Structures are given as C-alpha cells and as structure tokens.
Amino acid sequence: MSRLPLICASLLAILLLILTANYTSHWNAAINLPFSDIDQKSLAGHATLYFAHRDFLQGFPDGTFRGSSIVNRAEAAKLLVLAAGLSFNEDLPNPFSDVPQSEWFTPFVLAAREKGILDGYPDGSFRPARGITTAEFIKMATNAFELPLSLPHRFTDFHAGSWFTPFAGTAWHYHLFPERLNTNVLLPEELLSRNDMIVALYQIATFGTKAHFIDPDWNLRQDRTDILRSRGQFHAGGKSLPSPHLTGGILPGTGGVVPGT
C-alpha cells in the first residue's frame, strides 16, 4: 500500500499547525495594539480590549492605559453618560463654580447631573479631579442604568443603615467586582481604579450573556443559575442596555487628569 496519502496528510497537518501558530501570533499582536500595559488574559485586560476595540476607550500618549490609576469624577461622568447612551450638550444649566464651559468634561458632567447620576457639593463645586469611591460609583451606575434598588447581597463590611445600603446589592447581583464576592467584602470607601470601573461597566453591559464573567471559584450556585437562565441579550435590571459601540474616548489619557484638588 502506498504511503503517499499518509505522508500528504502529515504534511497537511504540519502546515495547518504553522498557519494556526502564525495566525494566533498576529491575532495576539493585533489585540495588544491598543495599550502596552494590559494583560489580555486578565478580566480587566479583556474588558479594556472589549471596549477599546469598540472605540470606547482612549489611553495615554505613551500607549498605556494605566488601569491602576484612580478614576476621577470628570472621567466617571463621561464614562457613565456615554455607556448609558444618554444625550449630552453644553446648553444645560451649569451650577458648578469649577466646571468651565470650555472643558472637555463639561457636557458630560451637566448631563449626568440632569439625569440624576451625580451632583455637586454644598459649596457649589463639582470637584472634577476628586477620585470616586466604590460606593459612589455603584450609586452612579445604579442611577445611570436605572437598576433596581435593595437587591440582596452578602457583603459584611458596612452598616445596614448606611446611605449606601440600598445600592450594595447592585454590586453583588451584577458581579461588578468579581474578586470581592468570595470574601463578602466590598470596600465601599476604597477609591476606584480605571480597571475597577471598566470591569464593572463590562459586567453590566454583558449581564445575561456568555461574555459575563462569573468567578469559577465562587460557590454560590443559585446566583450562577440565575445568570445562566437570563442569558441571551444585553439586559440589566429589566432595562435593555445600549450597544457599547460608541465613538470617542471615555477615559481619555490626555485631559483626563483635571488640574486642582
């Protein structure tokens, strides 16, 4: 019997392996292009790439994303307004003494205020450069996406009577910070990083789909079952979410840090 068919099959298999390796290498290089400092195998890296490839994010001029940097109030306003698909313009009333009309973040801050996502301080300031805490962001996200209040949760690191209590269940139900679920510790007063925010947004945008991340070590079987039952569309809290395919940068590296305190 001729061995030619076997030799041809072997050569074809080798060729396919080479082509696959080359394709994988080029593919990996392509998805690494947006930012030089992300780990594409991590949830934060995946979430960053997910939005960057939809023109949802911008990095810094040096090609980095700087995910560990703290998100400020100006950046959060822009992120939430665009992610929730809200309209914005510069003609809205501006009560803030430190939000000039000429700033890049002004339309988003005013839109966020009008929609009840956030507000200013008693002294009439907005403090755009101030970092936001986990608790503040969860409240903002709950308002932006009109998510239900007082969802059940198992977090134990804040008092039941805290102002934040009605919003805590949002983080649990939508798995906004997956690594905090096993410990039952939310760290509501901890300042939020760019990675934290983009992961939380990713979890909301993909809730009910196969892309939604559930910690494989998390042993709350019923919660995972509820997620599986709801798969199939962008959906959160009874509200269909807008497609995340948006133009423009949500967390710009240039102009993203606002002078002042």
What average pLDDT does range 136-157 have in this prediction? Answer: 95
Question: b/e map of 157-172 (b: 16 or more CB within 10 Å)?
Answer: ebeeeeebbebbbbbb
Contact 99, 259 (CB under 8 A): no
28-37, 41-50, 89-98, 216-225: lowest mean pLDDT where? 216-225
Q: Residue written as tokens 């559930």?
A: 214
Contact 48, 67 (CB under 8 A): yes
For the chain, give the longest Cα–Cα distance: 91
Q: Residue written as tokens 């269909």?
A: 240
Per-residue pLDDT, 199: 95
Per-residue pLDDT, 83: 84
39-48, 52-61, 186-195: lowest mean pLDDT where? 52-61
Indicate if the pLDDT at residue 27 is higher than 50: no
Indicate if the pLDDT at residue 31 is higher than 90: no
Question: How confident is the model over 164-174, as pLDDT tens digits?
Answer: 999 999 999 99
What average pLDDT does range 196-206 have in this prediction? Answer: 93
CA distance 239 to 261: 36
Per-residue pLDDT, 14: 57
What average pLDDT does range 49-67 have in this prediction? Answer: 83
Specify the higher pLDDT residue, 1 or 62.
62
Q: What is the mean pLDDT of the chain?
A: 77
Question: How confident is the model over 204-254, as pLDDT tens digits?
Answer: 988 877 778 876 454 333 333 343 333 333 334 344 444 333 323 334 433
Per-residue pLDDT, 10: 61
Indicate if the pLDDT at residue 117 is higher than 90: yes
CA distance 186 to 172: 9
Per-residue pLDDT, 135: 97
Indicate if the pLDDT at residue 26 is higher than 70: no
Specify the higher pLDDT residue, 64 or 82.
64
Indicate if the pLDDT at residue 24 is higher than 90: no
User: According to the 3-state scheme, what is the secondary structure of the chain?
Assistant: CCCHHHHHHHHHHHHHHHHHHHHHHHHHHHHHCCCCCCCCCCHHHHHHHHHHCCCCCCCCCCCCCCCCCECEHHHHHHHHHHHCCCCCCCCCCCCCCCCCCCCCCHHHHHHHHHCCCCCCCCCCCCCCCCECEHHHHHHHHHHHCCCCCCCCCCCCCCCCCCCCHHHHHHHHHCCCCHHHCCCCCCCCCCECEHHHHHHHHHHHHCCCCCCCCCCCCCCCHHHHHHHHHCCCCCEECCEECCCCCCCCCCCCCCCCCCCCC
Per-residue pLDDT, 76: 93
Per-residue pLDDT, 37: 87
CA distance 125 to 112: 15
